[in-house]
Amino acid sequence: MIITRKHLPRRTFLRGLGTAIALPMLDAMSPALAAPARTAGKAPTRLAFTYIPQGAIMEHWTPTGTGAGFEFTRILKSLEPFRDQTLVLSGLADHNGNALGDGGGDHARAGASFLTGVHPKKTSGSDIQAGISADQIAARAIGSKTRFPSIELGLEDMRTVGNCDSGYSCAYTNSISWRGPSSPMPPENNPRQVFERLFGAEDLSLDPAERGRVAKYRKSILDMVREDTRKITNTLGSSDRRKMDEYLYAVREIEKRIESAEKDEQQVVPGIEKPAGIPVTFGEYAKLMFDLQVIAFQADLTRVTTMMLGREGSIRTYGEIGIPDPHHPLSHHRNNAEWMEKLARINTYHVENFAYFVNKLNTTQDGDGTLLDHSMLVYGSGIADSNRHTHEDLPMLLLGRGDGSLKPGRHIVYPKDTPVTNLFLTLLDRMGVQPESIGDSTGKIEHLTEI
């Protein structure tokens, strides 16, 4: 089944409709976006994580030569126009992706430990346990400044149940973002749903008075259910009480969001048409999701995003670049030259789509610079050599200048086994977020801010 994201022909739109609707702007980004009248001061720093599953063919990834003036390798070629915004970081490691006595399951571990730095508990049952991920640490600290503390996006919707990788629960491969050790943040993979979440499912054509009433009703409802919950909690046992705590936390989050939306009076006009659904090809799909992230940053709806270009164990095929083989089996190439070639092409394709994102950010005004100037884009994986399931010397990129202190344009090789969480600790620091540690981090990494 293939669903195309149709540009609906005019005939279809106008036929059968009584009301007139604004025809969609076919241009993805319109400069007429109602930019938030931000108070004078620095543009906020944005943080975006883009995750690729199953590592890469490292010999076509790692540039020879370090420092500035490095050669862009085959896989990274599409980022060459952004050389002065690119940092290629080699030598970082995700220790907790390794078995450490737990046997098989490197894919689940890689996904679950990448942003958390914690060795996930091996279980396919209810007692999942990882850690809190870097993006959520940031969201907790600065999330209250925007309508959404963070946004999690994904491009796969596999309805697998139960055990997803050698005894690890599917929860470990479904998300890379964790609000708490047992609370993964499920990524949204339907662009339409993302759009509705960002801009509201209701008609923006509703007049403010009506929208005011809707908000008031919502608040009364939430008040009521909170009361309800408090009353029944006394009658509950301890495990049920924990469930109610989860419920109350979620209710409180929504109340906060409603409050902040009320304070935020300007109307946000999306600038793109509401997506009909999931586009046909991977390329269209990825670019659409990247478009939504750009808008979210531009309108300051959030400052922290994670996007999974695929989940660990992904069996997506990339027919549009002539690869009908599913990704995961291909990644176990056993040094078969033809398979490695195909895999390198997939890796390249992923980076090309990421380059689209980088370009969009680079051409979008943001205060006194571009969005890219004020962003820190992490691109990488918890697995390096997917054939052998290694977690050392990961493929990692950092794009953007962040808060202005980053000095991109170089290839840096870090000492062996430097935890990748050290990178995240450093980036969070650039946003003014200073946790003591993130999982297995041992401190900040050097060289990002000086040549």
Partner 1 sequence: MRKHYLGAFLLSTSLVCLAAESTPKSTSAAVAFAKSVRPFLAKNCYGCHNARLQSGKLDLEAYKTAPSMTQESDRWEDVLQKLRTGEMPPKGIPRPAEAESKLVAGWIEKELRRAELLAKPDPGRVTARRLNRSEYNNTIRDLLGITLRPADNFPQDDSGYGFDNIGDVLSLSPVLMEKYLTAGEKAARYAVFGPEPMKPAMVRYQPPFRRKADGTGGTTYKGPQSYTITDYDFTGLTMPSAVHFTHRFPVDAEYLFRCTPAGQRPGGSEPIDLGVWIDGKMVGSKQVDPLSGDGGVADISGQTREVRVRVPAGEHWVAVTLLRQFDGMPAEYGGLNPSKRAPAVRTFTPPPGATPDQIARFEARRAAGLNQRLNIHNIRIDNAEIGGPYDQLQGPSAESLKKIYVCGHLDGRHLAGCDRKIVTSLARRAFRRPVTPQETDRLTGLVAMVQKEGDSFEKGIAVAISAMLVSPQFLFRIEPETAAAGDAPRRIGQYELASRLSYFLWSSMPDEELLRCAERGVLRQPAVLAAQVRRMLKDPKSRALIEEFGGQWLQTRALESVNPDRDRFPDFEDYLRMSMRRETEMFFESIVREDRSILDFLDGKYTFLNERLAQLYGIPGVTGPEFRRVDLSGGERGGVLTQASVLTVSSYATRTSPVLRGKWILENLLNAPPPAPPPNVPILDEEAVGTSASLREQMEKHRADAICASCHARMDPLGFGLENFDGIGAWRSQDGKFSIDASGTLPNGKSFRTPNELKGILRADGPAFAECLTDKLLTYALGRGLERYDKPTVKSIARRVAANDYRFSKLILEIVNSLPFQMRKGDRGKT
- Give CA 333 to chain center in angstroms: 28
Please report the sign of the dihedral spanned by the C-alpha atoms of residue 222, residue 255, residue 211, residue 194.
Answer: negative
Whichever of 59 and 338 has its CB closer to partner 1, that residue is 338
Structural contact between residues 289 and 198, judged by C-beta atoms closer than 8 angstroms: no
Closer residue to partner 1 in complex, CB, 282/414: 282
User: Minimum CB separation from partner 1 for residue 172, in Å?
Assistant: 11
Are 94 and 113 in contact by the 8 Å Cβ rule? The answer is: yes
How much helix, strand and coil, in percent to the nearest 5, is found in the chain?
40, 15, 50
Beta carbon of residue 152, minimum distance to partner 1 (angstroms, whole number): 8
Smallest gap from residue 264 Cβ to partner 1 (A): 17
- Least separation in angstroms between residue 435's CB and partner 1 is 21
- The total number of residues written for the chain in this structure: 451
Cβ-Cβ contacts under 8 Å for 213 (sequence gap 6 or more): none
Exposure of 152 in the CB half-sphere (CA atoms within 13 A): 20
Nearer to partner 1, 255 or 429 (CB): 255
Q: How far apart are CA 346 and CA 352, in angstroms?
A: 10
Q: Which two tokens stand for residue 386?
A: 């997917």
Query: Which CB sits closer to partner 1, 38 or 213?
Result: 213
Contact between residue 445 and residue 415 where contact means Cβ atoms under 8 Å apart: no
Where is 327: in which H helix or E strand?
Answer: helix 327-331
Residue placing its CB nearer to partner 1 in the complex, 35 or 276: 276
Strands 304-308 and 375-380: unpaired
Q: Which amino acid appears at position 107 of this protein?
A: H
Cα distances from 194 to residues 48, 110, 149, 307, in angstroms, run 16, 26, 14, 12
Q: Whose Cβ is closer to partner 1: residue 34's or residue 254's?
A: 254
Beta bridge partners of 154: 308
**Residue indicated by tokens 């943040």:** 185
The least CB distance from residue 262 to partner 1, in Å, is 15
Query: How far apart are CB 150 and partner 1 at their closest, in Å?
Result: 10
Nearest CB to partner 1, comparing residues 217 and 417: 217
Q: How far apart are CA 376 and CA 447, in angstroms?
A: 15
CB closer to partner 1 out of 39 and 235: 235
- Residue 312 C-beta: closest distance to partner 1, Å: 15
Supply the minimum distance, in Å, between the C-beta of residue 411 and partner 1.
32
